[in-house]
Amino acid sequence: MLEKFAAIGGNIIRTGGQVNAVEPDWQGSFPTLAGEKETLTQILNHNESDIDDAYLEDFRTLKSQIQAYLEDVTDKGNHLFDSIELHRIQTYLGGRRKDRNNVEISGNYDLVKTLTDNVLDSVHWLTEKGVHFDRSFVDMPVGALWRRGHKPMKAQGLEYIESLRDYLRQHHGRIFTETTAEKLIKDGNQIIGIEARKANGAKVKIHTRHGVVLATGGFGANTKMLQQYNTYWDNIPDDIKTTNSPAMTGDGIRLGVQAGAELVGMGFSQMMPISDPKTGALFTGSIVTPSNFVFVNKEGHRFVNEFESRDVLSKAALEQKDGMLYIIADENIKALAMNTSEDKINQELADGTLLKADTLEALAEKLNIDPTTFVDTINRYNHFVDEGHDEDFNKNTFDLKIEKAPFYATPRKPAVHHTMGGLRINTQAQVIDVEGQVIEGLYAAGEVAGGIHAGNRLGGNALADIFTFGRIAGQSVATHLITGK
């Protein structure tokens, strides 16, 4: 394995760690939240004429499943519903987007089906490799649209990297750090190796009997490349922040293009609406699940359905003054925040990435917001939680009210998070060239590949993609010997 940085981990160690996977027996042991049945009813009312033919059979199956669930008067009907078809349709509809030129994109059905059919096996595989998932709750990252997140016990994605690194070492795999891939070695239409360079300038040439897997991530840390391909956002400024590792500069895409690969969906990128305004980091402040999200702008008003997709949230945030929002929480909600300890909270308060006050009025003053406006906003939101319906923005899933002191505010601003486009692949993770033919011996998995998430990725689907197509790529490269020398 080649890694251009001094340490492995890439973007995975910067994630929240959630893997979206449908596991009804586990999910069904948790009660439904207010508004979740309303989401299912909206799907029932969705016009079939709006669904692509490839997805239509799954959509009809899903409607039958939802109808049966909503008609269930037993206790089971009050617990969380999920199905592979729901995951598939949400991935499809959640990713279907039009760019500024009115060109529509949606996820390739075969790839989306492969993802949603096989991701639970990926969770089981990770468990076998030593990852310990927290089974005490069903997680849901921002923009996931549904609760199906499997989250490791350790913070962020560290447990994945540690477990897989240990497995690789136990099976005598080699990791070359500070080694940058520069060129794929090609013989006809077959990839037979790779040329790379060490940090000290020494050249490395590796020949392979099986092929090469590109798992380099996207180009979220390459602003010029983002600007070059962008057809979705009105503007990507030069000083845009990113949640990504600085390693994410599009290396794998460049290598694939040199080998003749076709690109798909390159004009679409995703912004994370809840990033640190100064650094782009994800995990400063107090980050909670979307059912407990309350966003206010600098005027103290809510401005969006906080349960929406990431691009919708980001666009709404960018329309606010300075592109800023504050996530508001109380003590009960803070207790459920991601990767939060008292030591971390105290450090965040000292750094100014989190603000705290004993009353809502005092918190408003710290935010330079009119206290009356702010308190009215929070009281109105609490009323919606009681009623299970948001009259202002139709947020349709709620959990807790904001009512127990002390109160907290986390400043947030959108930052580049995920690049949707990449190398075209098939269901075996083989890279496809511009003529529509397989490039023998070349495979791609994760963010370097395009075609799955289309114009917008659901929260929790990145790691689902990485591990599922990563496993498929590994299986493919192990079983398909190339004929090149």
- Inter-residue contact 377 to 300 (CB < 8 Å): yes
The tokens for 321 are 């003054």
CA–CA distance, 19 with 87 (Å, rounded to integer)? 12
310 is known as an active-site residue: yes
Q: b/e string for 33-49 if b means 16 or more Cβ within 10 A? A: bbbbbebbeebeeeeee
The tokens for 195 are 């040329």
CA–CA distance, 476 with 443 (Å, rounded to integer)? 8
- Inter-residue contact 84 to 113 (CB < 8 Å): no
Q: Quick one: how far is CA 249 from the chain centroid? A: 18
CA–CA distance, 181 with 222 (Å, rounded to integer)? 17
Q: What is the dihedral of CA 218, 221, 222, 228, to 10 degrees?
A: 70
Burial label, 446 (beta-carbon count in 10 A; 0-12, 13-18, 19+): buried
Amino acid symbol at 448: V
Helix segments in 84-230, DSSP class H: 84-95, 109-128, 158-170, 223-229
- Inter-residue contact 310 to 97 (CB < 8 Å): no
CA–CA distance, 438 with 475 (Å, rounded to integer)? 16
Residues in the chain: 485
Burial label, 173 (beta-carbon count in 10 A; 0-12, 13-18, 19+): exposed
Q: Of 302, 310, 412, 471, which one is the catalytic site residue?
A: 310
- Inter-residue contact 361 to 371 (CB < 8 Å): yes
Residue 442: strand pairing partners:
212
The most distant pair of C-alpha atoms in the chain lies apart, rounded to whole Å, by 75
CA–CA distance, 254 with 183 (Å, rounded to integer)? 9
CA–CA distance, 150 with 82 (Å, rounded to integer)? 14
- Inter-residue contact 332 to 400 (CB < 8 Å): yes
Q: What is the dihedral of CA 323, 328, 334, 336, to 10 degrees?
A: -70
- Inter-residue contact 104 to 97 (CB < 8 Å): yes
- Let me know the angle formed at the C-alpha of 98 by 95 and 103, rounded to the nearest 5 degrees: 125
Strands 438-444 and 212-214, bridge-based pairing: parallel
The tokens for 294 are 């309350």
Which residues carry out catalysis? 310
